[in-house]
Chain A
C-alpha cells in the first residue's frame, strides 16, 4: 500500500510538472514568434485601466489620453517639438487680424469605419466637442468661436476675439464621424491606429490603420495589457512578456535585468507641494515663502530620482520651452535661517501641518516623505496622511479640505493655459483657492493677446506672480523612463502626455 501511494504521488507530481512544461513553452514560443517574424506586434504594459468612456471629449485621465492619441486626431496635431502640424487638414491659414482660421480638408482621409471625412463631420465635431467636453479650458476657448462654416472642403472658423493659442484648441477637437453614437465603447477616429477591442482590467488592442494618409505605421498591432499593480507590471516586463512599458521609475529601470533599452525623458507634469492658500496657516504669504526657503529642491531631486528630474520654479514645466521661465527656478534658494525668520515674523514658529498624498502615486509619496524629513530639520512639524485616490479626489481636489498635498498636474493640451488657467480665482478646479487679482488679469490678458509675443509675456508674468507669492512649493518635473525591447526602436517623447505608437518600428 505504502509503495503504491508513493508511486501514485510521484506520478502525480510528474504529471503536474509535465503539464506546466509544454504548455508554458507553447505560450512563450507564440509570443516570441509575434515579435520576430516581421508582422511586428508590440505588447505594451499600462499601469492603469482606461477611463470609463473612450469618447475623446469625455476622457479625463492622462493615461487614457496618452494611448488614444493614436486613434484620434484634430485638424492639426502637435508634433514632438510642440508645434502644430496639419493632420486631418492639409493646410491652414490665419487671417492677419488673427480672427479667421481657414483649414483645407485633406483629400480622402478616412475614418476607421471606412467612411471619408467630410466637412460636415468637422462641423459636427466642433459642435459636439463644445457642447460635451469635460475639459473646461477647451470648452472656454470653443465658446469664443463666432461661427464655423464650410464651403466644399474648406472650413472657416471665425473667433469673437483674437486668441493666439487657438491652434492648440483646434488640436484638441478630435475629428469624429457625425452622429456616431458608440464613441464611449468603440471609438472611431482618423489616427494611425484603429481601436479593435477593450476588455476592462485585461487589455486594449489597436491595429494598424492601413489607410492612414501619412502612410501606414510599421507596427501591425499594439496590445496594451492593463496592470493595476506596479510590481506585477515590472515582473512581467522583466520576464519579457512585454515589449514596452511607460513611466517606469528609476529604481525599476536600475534593477531591470533583461537588457531592454531605457529611454529617458520627462513626465511633463508640475509636481509641487500644493498649499491651500485659502486656509490658515497658508493664507499668509510669508508662511508659504518660509516653506519655499526651508525645502531644498536639489536634495529632493537627488534623493528621489538621483538628480534625474527637472526643476520648475512655477506652474509650467521645462519642455514647454516657449512659456517656461528659467529665471524662476532659483527664486527660493535653500535658506533655513530665512525660513525661520519669516515664520517668526508671521507668528507661525513651531508650524505644524498635514500633507495629504494619494497613496497610489509612489513618486508623490516619496517626495512628500523627503519634504517631511527636511522640514523637521528646520523645526517645522509636517506629517503625511496617505489617502486612497478616490478620497484624494473627493476631499482634496473637490472638497478643498486639506492643508498641503503633493501631486503633479499635466497639460491636457499644448498651451500654457492648460496649466495656468486653473489658478484663476474663479476657476472651478482652483483647488488651492489661489486668489490674486494681478494673476487673473495676466491670464485674461494672455488669453486675448493680439500677438504671440505679448501672449508669452503675459503668461510669463502670471508665472512670476505664482512664484513671487509662493503659491506652492514647486518641486520638479519627474524624470520619465520608457523601457523598450531592443527589437524595436523609434520611441519619441512629446511635450505633453502622448505615446505615439506610429513612430515605433522593428529594428
Chain B
C-alpha cells in the first residue's frame, strides 16, 4: 500500500516535470502557431491580433499555470490549428492508436512466448544458431522499415491491402482490424525478436540451476519441470520486458502511423509539433508519459506478485 502511494506521487511529479519540459521546449524552438495559421497572409497587425486572441501575448508562466489549472480540471484546451477542443481531437484519434498498440502487443506476446519456450528448450546447436542469427536480424530492423516493405509487398505487388486506405472502426470492424494488422505486425516484429531472445536466455539459465537437476533426479520429465518450475522463474524478467514493450509499442506508433497513414495520435503529434500547436502536443506528451509510467508500475506489481523474494523486501 505504501508502495502504491509512493509510486502515485512519483507519477504525478514526473508528469508535472514532463509537461513543464514540453512547455519550455516550445519557448525555445523558433516559430509560433500564428505563423502557420496566417501563412503568407501574415502582417504584423494580424499576427498581433491573433496572438492576443490565442492568449500568446501573456507571460510564459501565466500561460503555463493557466494550462495546468485547466488540465487538472479536465479541460485540455483548444487546438490552435484545428480550432476545436483538444479533447474532441483526441477522442477521434486516441482509440485508433490504442487499438493499434493492443493488437501489436497481443501479437508480440502470442508469438514471442511460445517461440521463446521452443527455442529455450531446443537442444540442436545448429538450429539454435540459425534461429538466433535470424532473430538478431529481425531485432535490428526498425519497424518503419518493415512498414515500408510491407506496404510495397502486400500493397503494390500482392495487392492484399490498400496502402493509405484506412477504414475507420465505425465503418467496418473487420476492415479496420485488417488494415491495422500489418502496421501492428511491423511494430511487433522487433519486439518479438527481443522477447524471444530474452525468454530463451532466461530458460537456458534456469535449466542449469540445481533445482532442475534435483527434479530430474527425482525422475520428473523435462516437460513437467519446464512448466512447473522453470517457467515460473524464467517468466519474471520477461513479464517486465513485455510491460516495457507495451510502452515502447505505443511510442512506436508515432512513426508507423506516418508510414501507413493511420489517423492516430502519433500523426497528430508530429504535425502539431510542426504547427506549434501547443495544447495538442502538451496533451499527447502527458498521455504518452502517463502511459509509460503506468505500464512500468503494472510491471512492478506483476513482479511482486510473481516473485515472492520481492514481496519480503
A interface residues, Cβ below 8 angstroms from B? 1-2, 5-6, 8-9, 12, 16, 19-24, 26-28, 30-31, 45, 49, 51-53, 60-61, 134-136, 184-185, 199-202, 225, 227-229, 232-233, 235-242, 257, 388-391, 393-395, 397-398, 409, 428-429
Extra inter-chain contacts (4) besides given A202-B92, A232-B163, A241-B163, CB under 8 Å: A31-B162, A388-B274, A393-B35, A393-B36
Chain A contacts for B42, CB-based, 8 A: 393, 397-398, 429
Q: Are A199 and B92 in contact (CB under 8 A)?
A: yes
Residue of A nearest to B32 (CB): A394
Q: Are B164 and A26 in contact (CB under 8 A)?
A: no
CB distance from A151 to the nearest CB of B (A): 35
Residue of A nearest to B155 (CB): A239
Chain B contacts for A53, CB-based, 8 A: 83
Chain B contacts for A239, CB-based, 8 A: 155-156, 159, 162-165
The 10 closest A-B pairs by CB, nearest first: A23-B178, A236-B164, A390-B31, A241-B162, A428-B43, A241-B165, A393-B35, A60-B39, A202-B263, A394-B31
Q: Which of A12, A200, A202, A242 has the most B CB atoms < 10 Å from its CB?
A: A200
**8 A–B contact pairs at CB < 8 A?**
A20-B161, A21-B160, A24-B162, A30-B175, A202-B263, A239-B162, A393-B39, A429-B41
Q: Are B40 and A60 in contact (CB under 8 A)?
A: yes
Q: Are B275 and A390 in contact (CB under 8 A)?
A: yes
Q: Which of B41, B155, B160, B161 has the most A CB atoms < 10 Å from its CB?
A: B41
Asked whether B52 is an interface residue with its Cβ less than 8 Å from the other chain, the reply is no
Chain A contacts for B43, CB-based, 8 A: 136, 428-429
Chain A contacts for B114, CB-based, 8 A: 5, 8-9, 12
In Å, the complex CA distance between A9 and B111 comes to 8
Asked whether B181 is an interface residue with its Cβ less than 8 Å from the other chain, the reply is yes
* CB within 8 Å of A: which B163-183 residues: 163-168, 172, 174-175, 177-179, 181-182
Q: Given A201-B271, A229-B261, A393-B39, A28 and B89 touching (CB < 8 A)? A: no
In Å, the complex CA distance between A249 and B36 comes to 24
Q: Are B30 and A391 in contact (CB under 8 A)?
A: yes
Q: Are A1 and B84 in contact (CB under 8 A)?
A: no
Asked whether B240 is an interface residue with its Cβ less than 8 Å from the other chain, the reply is no
Q: Given A390-B36, A393-B40, A236 and B162 touching (CB < 8 A)? A: yes
Q: Which of A27, A45, A49 contacts B161 (CB 8 A)?
A: A27
Chain A contacts for B47, CB-based, 8 A: 398
CB distance from B151 to the nearest CB of A (A): 5
Q: Are B161 and A24 in contact (CB under 8 A)?
A: yes
Chain B contacts for A31, CB-based, 8 A: 162, 165
Q: Given A199-B263, A235-B163, A390-B274, A12 and B41 touching (CB < 8 A)? A: no
Q: Given A9-B114, A225-B164, A233-B164, A60 and B38 touching (CB < 8 A)? A: yes
Q: Are B164 and A52 in contact (CB under 8 A)?
A: no
Chain B contacts for A45, CB-based, 8 A: 164
Asked whether B117 is an interface residue with its Cβ less than 8 Å from the other chain, the reply is yes
Q: Are B181 and A20 in contact (CB under 8 A)?
A: yes
Q: Are B274 and A389 in contact (CB under 8 A)?
A: yes
Q: Are B267 and A201 in contact (CB under 8 A)?
A: yes
CB distance from A225 to the nearest CB of B (A): 7
In Å, the complex CA distance between A16 and B46 comes to 55
Asked whether B132 is an interface residue with its Cβ less than 8 Å from the other chain, the reply is no
Residue of B nearest to A393 (CB): B35
Q: Are A184 and B175 in contact (CB under 8 A)?
A: no
Chain A contacts for B236, CB-based, 8 A: none
Q: Which of B40, B46, B118, B177 contacts A397 (CB 8 A)?
A: B40
Type the 1/0 row for B131-148, where 1 means its CB is closer than 8 Å to any CB of A: 000000000000000000
Type the 1/0 row for B43-59, where 1 means its CB is closer than 8 Å to any CB of A: 11111000000000000
In Å, the complex CA distance between A389 and B38 comes to 12
With an 8 Å Cβ cutoff, the count of chain B residues facing the other chain is 70
Q: Are A241 and B159 in contact (CB under 8 A)?
A: no
CB distance from B74 to the nearest CB of A (A): 22
Q: Which of B38, B164, B181, B223 has the most A CB atoms < 10 Å from its CB?
A: B164
Residue of A nearest to B82 (CB): A200
Q: Are A236 and B163 in contact (CB under 8 A)?
A: yes
* CB within 8 Å of A: which B244-273 residues: 258-261, 263, 267-268, 270-271
Q: Are B152 and A235 in contact (CB under 8 A)?
A: yes
Chain B contacts for A232, CB-based, 8 A: 163-164, 258-261
Chain A contacts for B235, CB-based, 8 A: none
Chain A contacts for B233, CB-based, 8 A: none
In Å, the complex CA distance between A28 and B118 comes to 38
Asked whether B276 is an interface residue with its Cβ less than 8 Å from the other chain, the reply is yes
* CB within 8 Å of A: which B98-117 residues: 107, 110-111, 114-115, 117
Residue of A nearest to B31 (CB): A390
Residue of A nearest to B115 (CB): A9
Q: Are A26 and B174 in contact (CB under 8 A)?
A: yes
Q: Which of B92, B151, B178 has the most A CB atoms < 10 Å from its CB?
A: B178
* CB within 8 Å of A: which B9-49 residues: 30-32, 35-47
Q: Given A60-B40, A135-B41, A241-B164, A235 and B174 touching (CB < 8 A)? A: no
Q: Are B159 and A52 in contact (CB under 8 A)?
A: no
Chain B contacts for A26, CB-based, 8 A: 172, 174-175, 178
In Å, the complex CA distance between A201 and B39 comes to 18
Q: Which of A12, A233, A240, A429 contacts B40 (CB 8 A)?
A: A429
Q: Are A393 and B181 in contact (CB under 8 A)?
A: no
Type the 1/0 row for B213-246, where 1 means its CB is closer than 8 Å to any CB of A: 0000000000100100000000000000000000
In Å, the complex CA distance between A478 and B31 comes to 28
Q: Given A136-B43, A185-B84, A199-B92, A394 and B156 touching (CB < 8 A)? A: no
Q: Are B89 and A200 in contact (CB under 8 A)?
A: yes
In Å, the complex CA distance between A21 and B45 comes to 57
Chain A contacts for B261, CB-based, 8 A: 225, 227, 229, 232-233, 236
Q: Are B155 and A390 in contact (CB under 8 A)?
A: no
Chain B contacts for A390, CB-based, 8 A: 30-32, 35-36, 274-276
Q: Are A5 and B164 in contact (CB under 8 A)?
A: no
Q: Are B111 and A60 in contact (CB under 8 A)?
A: no
Chain A contacts for B162, CB-based, 8 A: 24, 27-28, 31, 236, 239-241
Q: Are A2 and B274 in contact (CB under 8 A)?
A: no
Residue of A nearest to B39 (CB): A60
Q: Are A23 and B175 in contact (CB under 8 A)?
A: yes
Chain B contacts for A136, CB-based, 8 A: 41, 43
Asked whether B80 is an interface residue with its Cβ less than 8 Å from the other chain, the reply is yes
Chain A contacts for B84, CB-based, 8 A: 185, 200
In Å, the complex CA distance between A20 and B223 comes to 34
In Å, the complex CA distance between A257 and B46 comes to 46
Q: Are B263 and A12 in contact (CB under 8 A)?
A: no
Q: Are B165 and A27 in contact (CB under 8 A)?
A: yes
In Å, the complex CA distance between A240 and B43 comes to 42
Q: Are A228 and B118 in contact (CB under 8 A)?
A: no
